[in-house]
Amino acid sequence: MPTVLVTGANRGIGFQFCKKYSEYGWKVIACCRRPDQSHDLNAVAKSFDNLVVESLDISLFEQVDKLAIKLSGMPVDILINNAGVYDDNRMNGFGRLDYAKWLNSLNINTLGPVKLAEAFLPHIIQSEKKLIVNISSLMGSISDNSSGGSILYRSSKAALNAAMKSLSIDLKDQGVGALILHPGWVKPIWVEQAL
Ligand SMILES: NC(=O)c1ccc[n+]([C@@H]2O[C@H](COP(=O)([O-])OP(=O)(O)OC[C@H]3O[C@@H](n4cnc5c(N)ncnc54)[C@H](OP(=O)(O)O)[C@@H]3O)[C@@H](O)[C@H]2O)c1
């Protein structure tokens, strides 16, 4: 069975990817920052022995390298760069930009996925499917931006798109594909809880 590695696996879209791939019988490496607090994911891991939970903060590159070494020799068919943050709010728009938060958005939404792709390239090349899948956003599109705002998020997803477009060209000869996907609007858990 193929293997998928998912970041941000403890909730939201990443969690659903893990659940579905487990149900389909794939080997799932479900990465999240705090496995001990990831109760839904741990419940899935109890039901499916093809899912393993790994601790990973994608902004801490030593953790990324450590996990790649731990899993060396294991083919990864699909790397799903799903983890992401939306750090914009009414209080930190243009004029009151929070540059520390902007750097955090770039670290998590742009640099992290590229670092994952670099660290896991040997695993991906060994696999059959050889795919790097990035959960980006239409908000990263420059041509689609008709409403402005969300500078932190938009710029970090635009940079992710640019980097992954380059990887799709640079890795073509090695048979590796880099996809940029927009999932549509998916209700975040905090909206659900507030309703
Ligand atoms: N929801 C939408 O409508 C929508 C639309 C377009 C694109 N997207 C994109 O789709 C992806 C998933 O969205 P979602 O709605 O499922 O988001 P979410 O519910 O807010 O979940 C975000 C996930 O990313 C993880 N994460 C954040 N920072 C991390 C880090 N430094 N290292 C590792 N994991 C980290 C979170 O872990 P913690 O629990 O530890 O914080 C969480 O698992 C994101 O990239 C998002 O930008 C979503």
> Is the per-residue pLDDT at 157 higher than 90?
yes
Tens digit of pLDDT for each residue in 55-110?
A: 999 999 999 999 999 999 999 999 999 999 999 998 989 999 999 999 999 999 99
Question: What is the number of the ligand 1 atom nearest to the C-alpha of 86?
Answer: 47
Note the pLDDT of residue 194.
65
Q: Which atom of ligand 1 is nearest to the CA of 33?
A: 40
6 lines ligand 1 (CB under 6 A): no
pTM to 2 decimal places: 0.97
The Cα–Cα gap between 33 and 10 comes to 8
What local confidence, expressed as pLDDT, does residue 187 receive? Answer: 83
Measured in residues, the chain has a length of 195
156 with 109: CB under 8 angstroms? yes
What would the pLDDT profile of 114-150 be if each residue is shown by its tens digit? 999 999 999 999 999 999 999 999 999 999 999 999 9
Q: Is the CB of 35 under 6 A from ligand 1?
A: no
Average pLDDT over residues 165-175: 98
- Mutate-to-test residue for ligand 1 from 19, 88, 135, highest number of ligand atoms within 8 A of CB: 135
For the chain, domains (ranges, CATH) are: 3-194 (3.40.50.720)
Total Cβ atoms within 10 A of residue 166: 12
Please report the pLDDT score of residue 193 as a whole number.
67
Give the Å distance between the CA of 173 and the centre of ligand 1.
31
3-class secondary structure, 6: strand
* pLDDT above 90: percentage of residues in the chain: 94
Q: Which atom of ligand 1 is nearest to the CA of 56?
A: 33
